[in-house]
């Protein structure tokens, strides 16, 4: 029997002879404490020595990898207009060259005479002498017994590759064999190495192909563990026998039917399909647990209201939770008129019926109103409660919560979802989460893998495409403000989004106030400007939004509080200042505020360039360029993933033992899908498949947090 990961995690790294107290301290700095941590400190990459070049043979302009020894290193202070730099002389036995680092002053201390290093970069001639500027450099420590392929470990401070190599080699030797948790059929299907070989080869490959095969197995393990947790969570929800079989009937039910017939427009085909799908979930005795993904403006609200009404028509209550007050208020404002005239049975009423009662609850709801609202909610007299996090507080109790909708899911965590669901008491309300943030498919499988997914991939008809301009020269900026004035002259309205101020709502508000004043005095003098930011009292916010909605204001100067939910079809121009400071997802959300009516809409992105109109960086050019090129949210999401990596998508959700160290949602798309497929097949329809694979079950049980373990594994 080989060793399990759990067993390795119980052995301290200091038990290894190669780990002296000094090395142990260095390892602790990179979070390596036990033997498993050490074995999972994977090489950052491998150097293929069969492709090693010699300094003397490299021609100017040619790229190459050389192994050399440091002769000298010195810091050259800035002189005149020059920048400070570190110059390192290295020699490989054939010739020497100067390696120059800009903006890395610490290199002068790090690289000492006599150290073996590998250097990868492009050779130049500088005043006739060989040099490489800012190459990739790795410390090898002592270079004895280097094989053909040299693993390079993440380096930090004094921790060298050779210290890690020695410790890892000893750990592997002592571990001998690893326990193999996967059945051989799975190894075959996915075409991966067994775990023992994978761990040995990732740290000491005999060819690049072997290194990649080892990586594939260990990356697959990471993805599979995550998917197993998600699939187990999904099956655990489904096992709950406390769901509510809502009544739907052949026609969707009385309220839903009346509601849909009263809409001033035809539903799109995808909306109709989504509602049918939701009603199928709602009528089942298993609690619904579904994600509705739809780009801004795709009409998710109607679908959500149909779900809520499905519960209400059977005498249950519904809740709609939004991440901000502005959005909650906006939801209330858009939902109320849609429900006008719809009635529910009420024995206490003279006519045996009353209008569907929709109420708002946020942390700003006055105490007096709250004192009246909460008892009414507990008596079942409120049919739909719209609100923010305030819905989660203890005092909020429903009489019979039947359906919960959570908007902009990415702003809420799994725990908050669960807290709202728990408001159901004896029964588990059906849950619909919505997001307008498009996520690439494989990423969605990982972030929302415990939910069923429905996508609204069609916009309602009559939308006009948005033309986007990156206004990077002063002339372009003039044109942008001109476009605002023209639109207003033609009876349209506009948004100006103020520069993003990091980390402080207060500063953000101050900057919005200043920008509002500046625009009123300059570029937009004479127009009716309104101001909206997060620090305003909610009554003021509401008043401004109402005036803008009624066309009493021409331009709304706002912070990102308008990012989600604001819906004014007459607004056709958006100017985003310092657009380079915003992420792609946020720019896309902001832009979605225009293009909602029949008039042609335009979006101007300001900033991201220097005085001469040159992009500030490649990354900025790619980000803003993507905005100009497409309005397709999924395409932008792919670009975002390329540019920023997955950290931003996974956020804090995948911290800890189930971290992705090797796997990448970007590069390993096929492997993600494969891991998901395998997870479903191993867990099985009944959720108990892992009982037949005790080693795997124990590993996953050890990974999830103990509070969740009970819930996932006992039923
Ligand atoms: P989002 O998905 O961004 O939440 P909304 O639900 O706010 O989108 O819908 C955006 C706008 O489109 C609203 O004004 C809504 O009334 C309108 N709308 C929704 N469905 C349709 C449809 N099928 N035809 C025309 N307009 C629609
Ligand atoms: Mg919406």
User: From the CB of 297, is ligand 1 less than 6 Å away?
Assistant: yes
Coil, helix or strand at residue 566 = coil
Q: Whose C-alpha lies nearest to ligand 1, atom 26? A: 460
Counting ligand 1 atoms within 8 A of each CB, the residue from 261, 297, 407, 454 with the most, and so the one to mutate, is 297
Q: Which residues of the chain have pLDDT under 70?
A: 81, 141-146, 156-157, 241, 409-414, 502-503, 563-565, 645-658, 707, 714-715
User: What is the β-pairing status of strands 466-471 and 493-497?
Assistant: unpaired
- Residue 108 CA: distances (Å) to CA of 70, 89, 100, 255: 11, 11, 10, 74
- In the reported structure, the alpha carbon of residue 225 is separated from the centroid of ligand 2 by a whole-number distance in angstroms of 33
Our CA angle for 435, 440, 443, nearest 5°, is 90
Task: List, edge to edge, every strand of the sheet that includes 136-139.
Answer: 124-126, 129-133, 96-102, 85-91, 63-76, 116-122, 136-139
Predicted confidence at residue 653, as pLDDT, reads 44
Nearest Cα to Cα of residue 167 among 159, 158, 156, 178: 159
- For residues 323 and 407, the answer to whether their CB atoms sit within 8 Å is yes
393 CB-near residues (< 8 Å, 6+ apart): none
Predicted confidence at residue 538, as pLDDT, reads 77
Quickly count: other Cβ atoms within 10 Å of residue 254's Cβ: 16
User: From the CB of 300, is ligand 1 less than 6 Å away?
Assistant: yes
Q: What is the DSSP string of 220-271?
A: HHHHHHHHHHHHHHHHHHHH-S--------TTS-HHHHHHHHHSSSPPPHHH
Predicted confidence at residue 657, as pLDDT, reads 61
pTM to 2 decimal places: 0.74
Q: How far apart are CA 71 and CA 90, in angstroms?
A: 5
Q: How far apart are CA 168 and CA 435, in angstroms?
A: 44
User: From the CB of 436, is ligand 1 less than 6 Å away?
Assistant: yes
What are all long-range contacts of 506-509, with beta carbons under 8 Å and residues at least 24 apart?
506/535, 508/533, 508/534, 508/535, 508/559, 509/533, 509/534, 509/535, 509/536, 509/559
Counting ligand 1 atoms within 8 A of each CB, the residue from 293, 301, 333, 596 with the most, and so the one to mutate, is 301
If 0-12 CB within 10 Å is exposed, 13-18 middle and 19+ buried, where does residue 535 land?
middle
Q: Whose C-alpha lies nearest to ligand 1, atom 4? A: 300
Q: Whose C-alpha lies nearest to ligand 1, atom 25? A: 460
- In the reported structure, the alpha carbon of residue 651 is separated from the centroid of ligand 1 by a whole-number distance in angstroms of 29
Q: How far apart are CA 92 and CA 143, in angstroms?
A: 13
Predicted confidence at residue 495, as pLDDT, reads 97
End-to-end CA distance of the chain: 30
Predicted confidence at residue 410, as pLDDT, reads 61
Q: How far apart are CA 248 and CA 276, in angstroms?
A: 10
Q: Which atom of ligand 1 is nearest to the CA of 301?
A: 6
Domains and CATH numbers, the chain: 50-146 (2.40.50.140), 217-240+656-714 (no CATH), 250-456 (3.40.50.300), 466-630 (3.40.50.300)
Predicted confidence at residue 564, as pLDDT, reads 60
């Amino acid at each position: 029997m080989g060793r399990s990961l759990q067993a390795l995690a119980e052995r301290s790294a200091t038990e290894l002879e190669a780990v002296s107290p000094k090395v142990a301290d260095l390892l602790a700095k990179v979070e390596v404490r036990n033997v498993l941590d050490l074995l999972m400190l994977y090489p950052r990459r491998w150097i293929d020595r069969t492709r090693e070049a010699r300094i003397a043979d490299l021609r100017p302009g040619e790229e190459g990898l050389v192994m050399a020894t440091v002769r000298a290193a010195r810091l050259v202070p800035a002189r005149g207009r020059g920048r400070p730099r570190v110059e390192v002389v290295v020699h490989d036995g054939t010739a020497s060259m100067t390696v120059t680092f800009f903006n890395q002053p610490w290199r002068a201390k790090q690289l000492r005479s006599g150290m073996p290093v590998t250097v990868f970069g492009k050779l130049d001639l500088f005043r006739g002498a060989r040099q490489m500027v800012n190459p990739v450099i790795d410390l090898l420590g002592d270079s004895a017994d280097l094989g053909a392929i040299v693993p390079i470990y993440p380096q930090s401070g004094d921790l060298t590759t050779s210290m890690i190599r020695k410790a890892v080699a000893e750990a592997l030797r002592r571990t001998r064999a690893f326990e193999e948790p996967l059945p051989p059929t799975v190894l075959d299907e996915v075409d991966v190495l067994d775990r023992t070989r994978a761990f040995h080869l990732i740290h000491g490959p005999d060819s690049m192909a072997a290194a990649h095969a080892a990586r594939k197995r260990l990356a697959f393990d990471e993805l599979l563990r995550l998917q197993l947790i998600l699939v187990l969570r999904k099956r655990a929800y489904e096992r709950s026998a406390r769901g509510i079989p809502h009544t739907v009937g052949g026609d969707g039910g009385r309220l839903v039917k009346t509601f849909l017939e009263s809409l001033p427009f035809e539903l799109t085909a995808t909306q109709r399909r989504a509602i049918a799908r939701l009603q199928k979930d709602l009528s089942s005795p298993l609690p619904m647990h579904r994600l509705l993904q739809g780009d801004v403006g795709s009409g998710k609200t109607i679908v959500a209201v149909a779900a809520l009404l499905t519960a209400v028509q059977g005498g249950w209550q519904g809740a709609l939770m939004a991440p901000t007050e502005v959005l909650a208020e906006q939801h209330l404002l858009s939902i109320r008129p849609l429900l006008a005239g719809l009635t529910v049975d009420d024995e206490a009423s003279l006519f045996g019926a009353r209008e569907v009662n929709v109420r708002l609850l946020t942390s700003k709801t006055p105490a007096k109103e709250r004192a009246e609202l909460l008892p009414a909610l507990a008596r079942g007299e409120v049919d739909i409660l719209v609100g923010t996090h305030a819905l989660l507080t203890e005092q909020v109790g429903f009489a019979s919560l039947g359906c919960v909708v959570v908007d902009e899911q990415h702003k809420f965590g799994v725990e908050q979802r669960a807290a709202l669901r728990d408001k159901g008491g004896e029964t588990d309300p059906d849950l619909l989460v919505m997001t307008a943030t498009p996520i690439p498919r494989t990423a969605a499988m990982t972030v929302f893998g415990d939910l069923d997914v429905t996508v609204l991939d069609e916009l309602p008809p009559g939308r006009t495409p948005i033309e986007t301009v990156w206004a990077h020269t002063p002339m372009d900026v003039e044109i942008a403000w001109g476009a605002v004035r023209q639109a207003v002259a033609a009876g349209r309205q506009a948004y100006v989004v103020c520069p993003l101020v990091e980390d402080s709502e207060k500063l953000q508000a101050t900057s919005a106030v200043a920008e509002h004043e500046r625009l009123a005095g300059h570029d937009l003098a004479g127009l009716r400007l309104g101001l909206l930011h997060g620090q305003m009292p909610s009554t003021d916010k509401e008043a401004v939004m109402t005036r803008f909605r009624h066309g009493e204001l021409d331009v709304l100067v706002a912070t990102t509080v308008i990012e989600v939910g604001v819906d004014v079809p007459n607004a056709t121009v958006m100017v985003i200042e310092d657009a380079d400071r915003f992420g792609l997802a946020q720019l896309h959300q902001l832009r979605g505020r225009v293009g909602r009516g029949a008039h042609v809409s335009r979006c101007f992105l300001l900033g991201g360039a220097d005085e001469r109109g040159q992009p500030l960086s490649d990354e900025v050019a790619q980000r803003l360029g993507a905005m100009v090129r497409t309005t397709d949210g999924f395409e932008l999401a792919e670009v975002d993933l390329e540019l920023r990596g997955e950290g931003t998508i996974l956020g804090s959700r995948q911290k800890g033992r189930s971290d992705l160290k090797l796997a990448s949602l970007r590069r390993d798309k096929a492997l993600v899908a494969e891991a998901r497929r395998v997870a479903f097949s191993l867990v099985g329809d009944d959720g108990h498949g892992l009982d037949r694979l005790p080693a795997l079950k124990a590993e996953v049980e050890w990974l999830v947090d103990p509070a969740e373990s009970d819930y996932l594994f006992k039923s």
